[in-house]
Chain A
């Protein structure tokens, strides 16, 4: 169920974020630039004055370019965007606060991050992480080399949140992740990272109600109706995301994962190329 103050909760975040100057600092990392394009280390200021790091890759040639903005998965390390994407897109990968390269002064624990501050929606770390995701979009929207009509978002729930709060993006390729029916899924799993929820509730059983309340502010079902852009949702199994798909309130593209990084990767590249109108996608040699 959506909390009554769901919208005002996120509006407050927006109000706080808008008061923080981006203060972008873009430095080419010559070691990672290629003949096809330059790779920059981008630093931005996010909520609370926290400096975050972003890989920002710009191809050579005449822009503006379409964008593939990859939101991070759960883990300490974020990969540099794939070579193939960097050749003809602005390829962006955020390291949110706590992840390596954005880990000063806060270095996230794994396991641990998923329940940090979860006792209240106001202290939950993912509130600030959501702000980091939005901050990158704010940066993209100021850039001349960015084709403002062709920004795509790729990732899990962080990508969905960003899509819901930054309607300027054009396409969303989304695989529901840790925040979709979190506690329900955790209750039938002993695998990390979901097991972090179980660990926390075992240690602090009296907090269950608070944890449930907090997670409602991050539940993808509560964001879906705000996403108006072209959307592909990749589900774990057929019908797994029926209620989430319904929550979009419109037809979206849906598919089930192949459990193959190759076949899932090809499908993602083709869908993005179709939406961004970039022609046949460049694929890794082993996928061709």
Chain B
């Protein structure tokens, strides 16, 4: 169906010399902040099979972040963990059905999402361009750290087997999956759909669809800030995290995706170091990335890597 060859586009991202130092210092700073996790059983959302907890934990800049933690009531031995990262406009899911299948599941709500927006709330639209010209205070700095601290949270839980944690998401959830897989090597397996925040500088030229259009809106009003925007994004682009991903990973895209252009997924795959990586490119699909069919591939992938 598709006539263009998105793999030939040649998306390029510059990796700053101090990229690793920048993130190393940030992670060091984050590690000094205890999680101070709190749990509140949500009896209304819990079922006979699954307990649902609303969880809060501390993150960068002392922002208190929320999430949904779902556990099977019967858990004779440590459980494999599964993290679900949300899309840009989505609220975190309550993955009760996967808890029923024997996973300890976490639906993440990084800062700015409902329940995590008391101290930080740039809004939607807004998040993508919040402090865009400054890598030290850019919105996604804390957002990324919130996402990776979910792994730390699961690792601390006695009911979770910290050697068997899988992470997943689509769109922004795909981006957070990539970042967390890169910065938390204990992640056992990862699945990223239609990855957002990847090849961003090219993506904004390739699409007029929101959320990327937020950056185009911003640059129309502040054209003088284009270089500063690119400089910031070089520290946040998922392609620059990819060479740190070592775990088995699957990525799936739609070749007619107008939200996260498929062109940007190919250099991402090239940079991923994992010996076990696979790209599923679906012709005839847009930002859905054929999840209707592909979800089964994802489930099998995690069952194979986390349950055996």
- Is A31's CB within 8 Å of the partner chain B? yes
Cα distance, A117 to B236, chains bound together (Å): 43
Chain B residues within an 8 Å CB radius of A199: 44-45
Cross-interface CB contact of A259 among B91, B93, B210, B292, cutoff 8 Å: B292
| A-B pairs, 6 with minimum CB distance | A262-B286, A284-B258, A261-B286, A77-B89, A262-B256, A259-B292
Asked if residues B256 and A203 are in contact (CB atoms below 8 Å), the reply is no
Specify the chain A residue showing the minimal Cβ separation from B208. Answer: A83
Chain B residues within an 8 Å CB radius of A30: 221
Q: Which residues of B contact A (CB under 8 A)?
A: 43-45, 47, 88-91, 93-94, 96-97, 100, 114, 123-125, 206-210, 213, 217-218, 220-221, 254-258, 261-262, 284-288, 290, 292-293
Asked if residues B114 and A110 are in contact (CB atoms below 8 Å), the reply is yes
Q: Given A109-B114, A190-B97, do A286 and B288 touch, yes or no (CB 8 Å)?
A: no
Asked if residues A287 and B286 are in contact (CB atoms below 8 Å), the reply is yes
Cα distance, A101 to B123, chains bound together (Å): 9
Chain A residues within an 8 Å CB radius of B261: 286
Chain A residues within an 8 Å CB radius of B292: 259
Q: Given A203-B43, A287-B256, do A80 and B125 touch, yes or no (CB 8 Å)?
A: yes
Q: How many A-B residue pairs have CB under 8 A?
A: 104
Would you give 24 A-B contacts (Cβ < 8 Å), ordered by A? A34-B220, A75-B91, A76-B114, A76-B124, A80-B210, A82-B209, A101-B123, A107-B114, A109-B114, A110-B114, A111-B94, A190-B96, A192-B94, A195-B96, A200-B44, A203-B44, A260-B254, A261-B285, A261-B288, A262-B256, A262-B257, A284-B208, A286-B255, A287-B286
Specify the chain A residue showing the minimal Cβ separation from B88. Answer: A77
Asked if residues A260 and B91 are in contact (CB atoms below 8 Å), the reply is no
Asked if residues A202 and B47 are in contact (CB atoms below 8 Å), the reply is yes
Binding site secondary structure of chain A = loop
Cβ < 8 Å to B, chain A residues 80-118: 80, 82-84, 100-101, 107, 109-111
- Closest Cβ of chain A to B236, distance in Å, is 21
- Closest Cβ of chain A to B117, distance in Å, is 9
Chain A 251-275 near chain B by CB (<8 Å), digits 1 or 0? 0000000111111010000000000
- Is A62's CB within 8 Å of the partner chain B? no
Chain A residues within an 8 Å CB radius of B254: 260-262
Asked if residues B91 and A79 are in contact (CB atoms below 8 Å), the reply is no
Asked if residues A260 and B284 are in contact (CB atoms below 8 Å), the reply is yes
Cα distance, A199 to B44, chains bound together (Å): 6
Chain A residues within an 8 Å CB radius of B220: 31, 34
Specify the chain B residue showing the minimal Cβ separation from A107. Answer: B114
Asked if residues B93 and A192 are in contact (CB atoms below 8 Å), the reply is yes
Cα distance, A284 to B286, chains bound together (Å): 11
Cα distance, A111 to B52, chains bound together (Å): 13
Cα distance, A203 to B42, chains bound together (Å): 11
Asked if residues A260 and B96 are in contact (CB atoms below 8 Å), the reply is no
User: Given contacts A31-B217, A199-B44, A287-B258, could you give 15 more A-B pairs where the C-beta distance is less than 8 Å?
Assistant: A31-B221, A34-B217, A75-B91, A82-B209, A84-B208, A195-B94, A202-B47, A203-B43, A260-B256, A260-B284, A260-B288, A261-B254, A261-B285, A262-B257, A286-B258
Chain B residues within an 8 Å CB radius of A260: 254, 256, 284-286, 288, 290
Chain A residues within an 8 Å CB radius of B217: 31-32, 34
Cα distance, A32 to B221, chains bound together (Å): 9
Specify the chain A residue showing the minimal Cβ separation from B261. Answer: A286
Chain A residues within an 8 Å CB radius of B213: 80, 83
Asked if residues A286 and B94 are in contact (CB atoms below 8 Å), the reply is no
Cα distance, A265 to B284, chains bound together (Å): 11
Chain B residues within an 8 Å CB radius of A82: 209-210
Asked if residues A75 and B89 are in contact (CB atoms below 8 Å), the reply is yes
Asked if residues B94 and A265 are in contact (CB atoms below 8 Å), the reply is no
Asked if residues B285 and A262 are in contact (CB atoms below 8 Å), the reply is yes
Specify the chain A residue showing the minimal Cβ separation from B213. Answer: A83
Chain B residues within an 8 Å CB radius of A184: none
- Closest Cβ of chain A to B69, distance in Å, is 15
Asked if residues B207 and A285 are in contact (CB atoms below 8 Å), the reply is yes
Asked if residues B96 and A79 are in contact (CB atoms below 8 Å), the reply is no
Chain B residues within an 8 Å CB radius of A101: 123
- Is A19's CB within 8 Å of the partner chain B? no
Chain B residues within an 8 Å CB radius of A12: none
Asked if residues A284 and B209 are in contact (CB atoms below 8 Å), the reply is yes
Asked if residues B90 and A31 are in contact (CB atoms below 8 Å), the reply is no
Chain B residues within an 8 Å CB radius of A34: 217, 220
Specify the chain A residue showing the minimal Cβ separation from B254. Answer: A262
Cα distance, A220 to B217, chains bound together (Å): 38
Q: Given A83-B213, A284-B258, A287-B258, do A262 and B90 touch, yes or no (CB 8 Å)?
A: no
- Closest Cβ of chain B to A97, distance in Å, is 15
Cβ < 8 Å to B, chain A residues 173-231: 190-192, 195, 199-200, 202-203
With most chain A CB atoms within 10 A of its CB, the pick from B91, B210, B290 is: B91
Asked if residues A286 and B207 are in contact (CB atoms below 8 Å), the reply is yes
Chain B residues within an 8 Å CB radius of A285: 206-208, 258
- Closest Cβ of chain B to A76, distance in Å, is 6
Asked if residues A286 and B90 are in contact (CB atoms below 8 Å), the reply is no
